[in-house]
Structure 1
Amino acid sequence: MPRRRPEPAAADRRDEAPRSAASAGRGRARGPHAGAWWLWALGLATAASRTTNPALLALLAAVAGYVVAACRVPDAPWARSYAAFLRLGLVVIVIRLGFAVVLGSPVPGTHTVLTLPEVPLPDWAQGVRLGGRVTAEGLWFAFREGMRLATLLACLGAANALANPARLLKSLPGALYEAGVAVVVAMTFAPHLVADVRRLRTARRLRGRADRGVRALLQVGLPVLEGALERSVALAAAMDARGYGRTAEVPSAVRRATAALTLGGLLGLCAGTYALLAAAGAAYGLLLAGAAAAVAGLRLGGRRSVRTRYRPDRWDATAWLVTASGLAVAALTIWAAGALPADLDPPVVPLTAPSLPLWPAAAVLLGLLPAHLRGARP
């Protein structure tokens, strides 16, 4: 006769509840699909590319930072990417202002800030000058252009801080798996590099050594490179152990059709995206045709992949809402750029203080939707 299993004690039952809650928390910590975060961030970046208003650009960067603070996984190695990209954007602004001071600006101005000694150049270098008069209008123009690029970097940093690179790689089509591995490895380099630098600086502070300055940076650089090399070797060994690179045999006609469709579709996507982001207008037909050709090529190319997915990510309602939030910001900003050009691209001359237009600002605030979705927060 089988023995009856004893009932757990009250203390054991109390211990089961925290473990169940922790397991549920780990399930919720997955968050929405990684591709949804990238589409949301690209929507904000598209909006940033269509305006030079510093107030709107600062609002876009603030929206991205607020969502990162609310939705990131704090202990993930890529969670601090936003701050690193934001500092890189500040460096870009300083460099852009430095070029405006040294090389001049194409914008004429009447408010002279300072006059530098001008270096005479030969006749073949006409149109380029070194030194000379530096105007407030030229500095303001350079600051706006640098801030736009810094906001684009902040949007990309938000995507890096929110999207798990491994989950993004797992969701790629089979035809793009090899290229996706290279891209994901490149994307994870910056977050791991930031984490290693922070860890080594903390260790130096605990030992009573200086963690700032050129000398400290040089002493930290060697352990950081050593850690990157060790991760590369471990990744290569893991990929080799899992049979990375195996492909199935497909007919040559299918391979040629796949290459033609994929290459033509990606070229169409690149040309359509460039036209969409350019000030001249948007080529929606070229963009849709390129997307259709690329999807057909990727589905054909997926026949070569023999890998399977363990617990594949689902594109749920939260992912749709996150994506729709970013695309709505992009669409409304593109519309506002045509309807309210003076608000999104204010003139540099005469020199005026920036203002925050109401309707474009309300459109940018739609990007805050992921911070208020329960499924998007860890």
Structure 2
Amino acid sequence: MTPRSLLLVHPVTWTIWLGTTLLTVSLTRNPLYLLLLLFGLTLVAETERPTGRATPLDPIFFAVIAVSFGALFNAATIRYGDTVLVALPASWWLIGGPITLEAVVFGMINGLVLSALVAGFGAFGTAMPISALISLVPRAFYPLAVVMSVAVTYVPLTIRLAGQVREAQQLRGHQVRVWRDGLPLLLPLLIGGLERALQLAEAMAARGFAADPPSNQVRMMLVGGLAALFAGLLLQFAWGQVVAASLTMLIGTGLILWALRESGQQAPRTRYRLYRRGIRDMIVLLGAGLTLIAVLAPWPGRASLAYTPYPMLQLPIFEPLLALALMGLLMPVAVRLGDRYLP
């Protein structure tokens, strides 16, 4: 059995899965499908969570807050809908007027969309270690990888350090009763978080992630590519020369890609852990492909993705085949459970 700390699925496969998830959530406003996606993505995050590590942000708890806030905010600012729940005095600034059930439901749907997006990112972040994320960065963007790693790890390291500082202060007899008692925790927390982030940046720089400045040739190609793109836009929108504009932008894109390739060659890469593609990647990609086809293909069931409670609230349409296709995003759960229980 593969240890929980190792990836069963290739980082590129996880990236494709995340893109499919975000596209699927963005294309639907049906609350039934959104609830299905929310619980499914939460299950993926819980399955990928290493044993003994707490979930940094519970998607269900976040959904309760987002749905409640979305309903209150939309009901207080939107005055459209036929089902009036209560009529506030019109003299009240901003919130005065009728509160409609349709506005409340529309706000709840927006909260569900946001919660499903957060759940998708949460599952991706739980499954992907920082080393796997950095491995996806092209060699031309190694300085960006250093900045990204520091930004991604600063908050988790600070949260972990907060618990350590609080335990150390409690051993010294310090108790937090009012907000002023938390000030002695703030300074070591900030210093410790920054120190660990700088240590990570130095370690990555020692491993070659601090790439040398690009050569003059690379800079000239980048400037020429950007100039060609700008000239192509002018030819298309200012003078209407579609063929010449397309050719110029194609040349500019080629110059930029060539410059990035040459810049990447100046930053050698040594990989200590190779992620290989296998049958597990095929299973996850097939599930994501099934979901992608279901939400993009022109078939009758796809119409149930769209939903609006205006002007009169109605029950959303539920298509069982489409709901089954959305479950293709749960293939990482099947892969993880298969690795855990099958020989």
Deviation at 1:339, TM superposition (A): 3.8
- Name stretches of at least 5 consecutive residues in structure 1 with no aligned partner: 1-23, 122-128, 266-288
Compared CA separation, residues 259 and 159, structure 1 to 2 (3 A):
farther
What does the per-residue CA deviation read over 1:343-366, in whole Å, with 9 as the maximum and x for residues that have no partner? 112231321234532121011111
Any residues of structure 2 matched to 1:1-378 within 5 Å, and which?
Answer: 25-26=2-3, 29-75=6-52, 80-81=55-56, 83=58, 86-105=60-79, 108-119=80-91, 129-196=94-161, 224-242=189-207, 244-247=209-212, 250=215, 252=217, 254-257=218-221, 298-335=260-297, 339-340=300-301, 342-348=303-309, 349-373=311-335
Give the partner amino acid of 1:310. Y
User: Which structure is richer in relative contact order (CA contacts within 8 A, separation 6 or more)?
Assistant: 1
- TM-score scaled to structure 1, two decimals? 0.68
Q: Which amino acid aligns with 2:77?
A: L
CA distance in 2, matches of 1:90, 1:218: 31
2:297 counterpart SS class: helix
Deviations 1:212-243 (A, max 9, x none): 99789878665543432231232233245445
- Given that 1:248 and 1:303 are in contact with CA atoms closer than 8 Å, whether structure 2 keeps it comes out as no
Deviations 1:265-310 (Å, cap 9, x if unpaired)? Answer: 9xxxxxxxxxxxxxxxxxxxxxxx9xx9686664343112134222
Distance 2:224 2:39 in 1: 42
Q: Deviations over 1:65-112 (max 9, x none)?
A: 222222332356xx72452x554444333332232233224xx22222
Q: How many aligned positions are there?
A: 316
User: Aligned with 1:114: secondary structure?
Assistant: strand
Deviations 1:301-324 (A, max 9, x none): 311213422233333442343244
Distance 2:165 2:152 in 1: 21
| 8 Å CA contact 1:72, 1:377 repeated in 2 | no
Q: Share of identical aligned residues, percent? A: 25
Q: CA deviation at 1:52?
A: 0.6
Cα–Cα, structure 1 residues 237 and 87, in superposed 2: closer, same or farther, change >3 Å? same
Q: In the superposition, relative to structure 1, how do residues 28 and 109 fare at CA in structure 2: closer, same or farther (>3 Å)?
A: closer
Matches of 1:317 and 1:49 in 2, distance apart? 29
1:263, 1:369 → 2: CA distance? 45
Give the SS at the match of 1:362.
Answer: helix
CA RMSD in angstroms, aligned pairs only:
4.0
Query: How big is the shift at 1:342?
Result: 4.5
* C-alpha deviation, 1:168, in angstroms: 1.7
Structure 2 SS opposite 1:101: helix
The two structures have a TM-score, normalised by structure 2, of: 0.74
Q: Distance in 2 between matches of 1:260 and 1:326?
A: 39
SS in 2 for 1:118: coil
* 1:26-62 alpha-carbon deviations (Å, 9 max, x no partner): 4983322233223212211210110111110111111
Once the 2 structures are TM-superposed, how far is the Cα of residue 25 of structure 1 from its aligned partner? Answer: 4.4
After superposition, give the CA deviation of every residue in 1:133-189 in whole Å (9 maximum; x if it has no partner): 110011111111221122111111111111111122034221122212322332333
